[in-house]
Structure 1
Amino acid sequence: MPAYDQTLTRVEDYFDRTATKTWERLTSDAPVSRVRATVRAGRDRMRDIMLGQLPDDLTGKRVLDAGCGAGQMTAELAARGANVVAIDISPSLVEIASKRLPEAHAPQVTFTSGDMHDVRLGDFDHVVAMDSLIYYEAGDIGASLARFCPRVSGSVVFTVAPRTPFLMTFWSMGKLFPRSDRSPVMIPHAPGKLARAATDAGARGRVQEVERVTSGFYISTCLEYRQ
């Protein structure tokens, strides 16, 4: 998957070398700008939506937090009783997540950095991937779901940037005027196209849209893949 690998490297470089402090602040209670406050609110709402797709009681369930970032989702999953594998491509963010996790939940969580598709992570009941697939092409996302397919007994809940006129305009501008110091460009997607890409890649389940969140500059759609 050369396109996937190249994007993975760009995202890792951005989050581990450029944006760690920004994301540490954004995911805390520290004061932020008005624009970033809307992003924070949007992410909080999206996290609630994603968690709403999972059972309230996850005791004994094994859950992969794919792209755990600073660990907010990880802490919520552990509070519901899950045994969580929290992985992110940024070791710096994983370190922040580990330090923030309440000590009472530490025995339930394994933190690691690397690729969320690593088969050495084992099998899972559920996977949550919040804003960790938003930089990838439809074919890469379809292949990602296909790779999870034999290892996940329940659902994969993930987010993408929706294909709206607003986001398509900004995406086109980003393609026309690339800058090396900017974060990787999000790629807007339509759920139907992702469903076809997953089928083409060999995934046996169904992709369906759950809910869209629009909060200032945060625009994201929650999707669920279930076999």
Structure 2
Amino acid sequence: MTSRLFIIIILFCFSVIPVCFSQENDEEKTEEQQNVRKSKSYIDTEDLVVEQAAMDKKPIDPLAPSKAAFYSAILPGLGQAYNKKYWKIPIVYAFIGGGLYFYFDNDREYDRYRDAYKSRLAGYTTDEFYGVVTDDGLVRAQKTLRRNKEISLLVTLGFYVLNIIEANVNAHLMQFNVDDALTVRPHYKINDLNNKGDVGLTLNFKF
């Protein structure tokens, strides 16, 4: 009787163990299938995002910087308008207009002192500076105002050139590659050999 009971228990164990292993295998397969589905879904979603970004990205125009510079050379601020940076146009005209204002103001004052000096050389004493500014003072004033005129003109030309350079550089930067397919990100990882942290940069490029 005891031997029969022992044989029955052994047969029962051998019949239950495969069922348990079968259930565990089914659970593992189900979990693996779910992970594969999730991974595939993530990859598909990522591919869709990359494709959408590629579709939304504007085509690169290699002549755009040259066009922007050319327009700014023809008319200051026109290159900024071509780049759709309209808020920069008042700044361009403020600097160039300021330089022109000082140039013409110094030119007007220079003419006043020159006319007075010529009047005195002709023997007249009816100029507006008579009794206030000496002849030497008129000569020094003309030299100072002529130098100021030249500086104002150089500054104005400098702002004009900067206006062209800014339009050209901005057109270049607007087409600079900032796609998510090319990224540089910091990373921190524990080194398994010495159990220390490693800090660095990771360069990711997606084809």
Please give the TM-score of this superposition, normalised by the length of structure 1: 0.17
Higher strand share: 1
Please give the TM-score of this superposition, normalised by the length of structure 2: 0.18
Higher helix share: 2
